[in-house]
Amino acid sequence: METPFRQVTRNFSSGMKSIIALTTLTTLMLPLSADPERGEALYAQVCFLCHGNQLEGGKGPALTDAYWRHGSSEEEILKVLNDGVKGTEMIGYGAVFPENDIQSLLSFLLSEQKGVRELVREEYEKVHFEGQELTAELFAGREASNAKPIPENTFWVDDRFGGAISYHGKFYAWEDAQYIFDLKSPGRTVVYLNGELITKAGEGYPMADQFKKGLALKKGVYELEILHESKPKHGHRITGGYGIKGKPLIQFHGRSLQGSSPKFVLTDPLRAIVARKAIQGISPRALLCLLPNKVIVAFSPETGLIEKAWQAASIDQTPSLPDRSFSPSVVLGTEIQNPPAAPDLGDNRKFLGYRLDRQNVIIRFAENGQERALTISPQGSDSYTISQ
């Protein structure tokens, strides 16, 4: 049976613990002027160039993963949309689009979120909680020794930490379904969703007292609070996942991405990939087409030209990861001399986007009202073709 819920406005302080006391599930709604379909259209016209067709990221950061460097709250995203990010190509669109369009774009971005956002971690002295039942009301009456936002929106505990922690944030249910939080931890951990206790777990509870309860949710945004208390322990970690019951779960735990060791962007032997990264000597909006034969082709949708190509190539995003692709990455490989050129598309072309068709990258243009396409395909072990 589906749990009842009611809608409430979103203009409240993230620190208000009173919202946790609600016993009915609540979803949060944006101003009436927000139109997510209009926002999606704006994204397809402007934002996809840096953030990808599916918000997967490229030259700019992904907009659907858990890591939000400048914050994942409605207010923080609005500030970036309106004011931009200094030192990057992210301009302030508040001077370009009317307020309703900015709200619509925000509405679209929020509608695409999945999982935990706006997470804040608060630490408390253990003396206030030892031997007492962990409840939202107990934490609400205490002052935290420190509090900080967690831009990665994952759950972690410092090694040998001894005390109590409250994590509170938003949970984005991405479809109508039954959701669970399935976790393990040293000590005691409880999970509240809009004031309803849905999980009690950890070595500090007898097995008979532990439980996890599925909760029927409509797609929307819900208040989340996770309370944890434990003794100091080496290798301290909360593990498990959350998500739709019966499907693979999103990992519950993580660590800070700031200063972490990054990974390479590698070609896939079975399919083509398009990446958008800041590369020295490559125009900012170039499409980096990673082909299955380890060839990378840099194609500019602005000029319609091949800028560079490499064989036996990969992308080292080491300079980019901590800053979410704001610093130049590096293409590793052997540059192809005199790479195959693109057919002439004429002067009246308009870039429409791209799509992937197994091993091929198909780039779409419009010219004089007619849609045209270029196909970039692997050729042999060290080259490519580009044709209409």
Domains 31-111 and 116-251 share a fold: no
Contact criterion met (CB below 8 Å) for 175 and 159: no
- First CA to last CA across the chain, in angstroms? 54
Side-chain-facing half-sphere of 103: CA atoms under 13 Å: 10
Q: What is the pLDDT of residues 249-297, one digit of tens each?
A: 888 776 555 444 445 677 888 999 988 777 878 887 889 999 999 999 9
CATH code for the part of the protein at 31-111: 1.10.760.10
Residue the block writes with tokens 């309703």: 100
Q: 259 is written with which tokens?
A: 């200063």
Q: Residue 38's pLDDT band (boundaries 50, 70, 90)?
A: very high
Residue 247 and residue 36: Cα distance in Å, rounded?
27
**What pLDDT score does 147 carry?**
87
In 112-162, DSSP assigns E strands to 115-124, 146-149
Average pLDDT of 303-308? 92
CA separation for the pair 302, 71 (Å, rounded): 31
Choose among 58, 36, 114, 123: nearest CA to 315: 58
Sketch the domain layout of the chain as residue ranges: 31-111, 116-251, 264-387
Contact 218, 173 (CB under 8 A): yes
Q: How far apart are CA 350 and CA 44, in angstroms?
A: 13
The gap from C-alpha 344 to its chain's centroid, in whole angstroms, comes to: 37
Give pLDDT tens digits for 2-11. 333 323 333 3
pLDDT given for residue 264 in this prediction:
66
Q: Rounded distance, CA 227 to CA 191, Å?
A: 7
pLDDT in the model for residue 328: 67
Which helix (H) or strand (E) element contains residue 106? helix 99-111
Tens of pLDDT, residues 372-382: 899 999 999 99
CA 312 centroid distance within chain: 30
- Look at strands 215-217 and 250-251 and give their pairing: unpaired
What number does CATH give the domain 116-251?
A: 2.60.120.260
Q: Which two tokens stand for residue 149?
A: 């936002």
What digits encode the pLDDT tens for the residues 107-164? 999 999 999 999 999 988 888 888 888 888 888 878 888 888 888 788 877 767 778 8
- Three-state DSSP at 314 gives strand
pTM reported for the whole predicted model: 0.62
pLDDT tens digits, 349-366: 888 888 899 999 999 988
Give the count of beta carbons closer than 10 Å to the beta carbon of residue 282: 18
Return the number of other C-beta atoms located less than 10 Å from residue 345's C-beta.
19
Would the pLDDT of 17 be above 70? no
